[in-house]
Amino acid sequence: MKLQRMTWGRWVELLFGALPTLFWICCFSIYGVYFGGFLLWAYGMDSIPHPPGIPSFIGLAIALILGIVVAFVAIASLWITVLFGIEVINRHPFLRWSTIVSWILGIGLSFWIFFEEMLPMHKFNYDYLKTFVLFIGPASVGLKYFPKLLEGPTKGT
């Protein structure tokens, strides 16, 4: 695979679409994986008391770790798509389908974070704006490439 020639449009897609979200995921994942792993370890070692709500702690830890993994995979596939081009992704069936699945899971995760975690606060604060800005960049870049990704490889490539 060969990198595409970097045009102004690709730089904008990377700098405003994928880069801020990548920094946010990296910062969040350090604490999220540590916290989720600690919950799972403490539950396994019987270090924490087992009240009736303990399955919710395990579900929270697993959801946190899986959410971070899905976010990393979705952003990584977005970077690969922008850097190498949609034509290269479409030529490799495994890469194409893994990109489609990761983008669908990433969009589902961002909707879940926004509608399940942010909106129940019942008052506007800057977390709404921050979350919207972090999700609109990758979503807009992904929506630009998604129809071409669903079409599959064109004849002659």
Confidence at 45, pLDDT banded by 50, 70, 90 = low
pTM: 0.75
Q: How many CB atoms lie within 10 A of CB 75?
A: 22
Confidence at 50, pLDDT banded by 50, 70, 90 = low
The residues near 17 (Cβ < 8 Å, ≥ 6 apart) are 78, 82, 137, 138, 140, 141
